[in-house]
Structures are given as C-alpha cells and as structure tokens.
Amino acid sequence: MNISPINAESECEPLCRSYVCAVFDVLSLRIQGEAGPRPVPLLWAIGILSDHLPHYLGAWHMRGPEDSWPAVADDLRDRGIERLRIVFAPDPVETQAALAAHYRGVTVVPAAASIDDSLIDPALSGHRPYIERALNVAGPLNLRLKRAVARHGPFAAASAAAALVRGSADRYIYANWPAHPEPPMRAMRETTSWTMTATGG
C-alpha cells in the first residue's frame, strides 16, 4: 500500500466516523541516517468514542506545523472520520485552521490545557467526561511511549517507529479497557477471511 508522505503508518487502517475528543502529542525519536542518527518528531493521537472508549488514531511524520497539519487533517478525513468535536494539540492555531476545513464546529485547545484550565470553553462543559477520559488516557500513554522509544534507540525509518508506537498503544488501551472493540482494520480482515472460507474463496 502506498503511504502519503505525512503518514508514518505501514498500514492506514480505517477509523470510526465520529470522535467526541482527541489528543495529539509529539514524540521525539531518532532515525538512523548515513551521517548518524537525526532527531525526528512523530505526532501520535488517541480519540474518544461516544461510549467513552479510547481508540488509537495513528502516527504522522511531522515536518512543520503549517505544512503538516493540513495533511494530517486530510489523512483523518480519508480514513473515515466525519466528525471531531474537541481536540487537544501542540499547535492549536495551525490545527484549528486545518481541521476546520473538514470538521465544522471543532474546537482545538493547547495540548497543555487541563479540564480545569480557563482555555476550555464553558460551552464544552457537557463534554467533561470525554475530556477527562482523553487526558487520563493520553497522559500515562505518552510516558509509556517515550520509554518505549528511548529503549529502542535509533530507528531505521519513521514507519518502524510508528509500528512500535502503535503496538505499545494498542497493548495499553486493550489491557485497560478490555471492552474495547477490535480495531476496524483487524475486524475487517477477520470478516474477509471468514467470508472467503465460507464461500470457498
């Protein structure tokens, strides 16, 4: 499968149609090059579904906020997200401009904001449980991912780092929220496999 330059995933799995809240954060990792390891920022994100369950959204190789956020927004739309309500992001101005092109009514706040921060619009108070869940998932997960990346050392490519981040995030989410549904791509593969077996394909 071809990968867009922005998407560091080896497989761009489809996402759910609607997320009440999403948190984006950046990992600093090293990619091995001819001149030695070089620092590379990798953006990752989790989303909160209407049933309060967290879902890993993906990882993106960032080159600069103004250049990268429109591509991230396009990637989310292309993978099936039709509605986003609240987003925590490290570059709120650029993120708001990019996401607003696809998601009407989306509110973007700085990643450092908390549920009690004055930056949170009072109009969003009804979404407090979703915001709390998003921040409670993203905080510990960010520390876990930082440790995983540090233990690994330099990566051969951004896609290798994205694979490690996805695996670590998936294990954390499914261990703490066992009622979490199967990831869309995994469920689709199982359905396809069963259909082919049943029909003799």
Domains (range + CATH), the chain: 18-199 (3.30.420)
Structure tokens at 171: 């294990």
H or E stretch covering 133: helix 128-152
pLDDT tens digit string along 66-109?
A: 678 999 999 999 999 999 999 999 999 999 999 999 999 999 99
Task: In whole angstroms, give the CA distance from residue 76 to residue 74.
Answer: 6
Whole-structure pTM value? 0.82
pLDDT of residue 119: 60
> What percent of the chain has pLDDT above 70?
77
Structure tokens at 135: 């921040």
pLDDT tens digit string along 183-196?
A: 544 444 433 333 33
Residue 124, class by beta-carbon neighbours within 10 Å (0-12 exposed, 13-18 middle, 19+ buried)? middle
H or E stretch covering 42: strand 36-48
pLDDT tens digit string along 23-48?
A: 999 999 999 888 888 888 999 999 99
3-state secondary structure of 30: strand
- Return the bridge partners of 42, or none: 27, 61
pLDDT of residue 201: 45
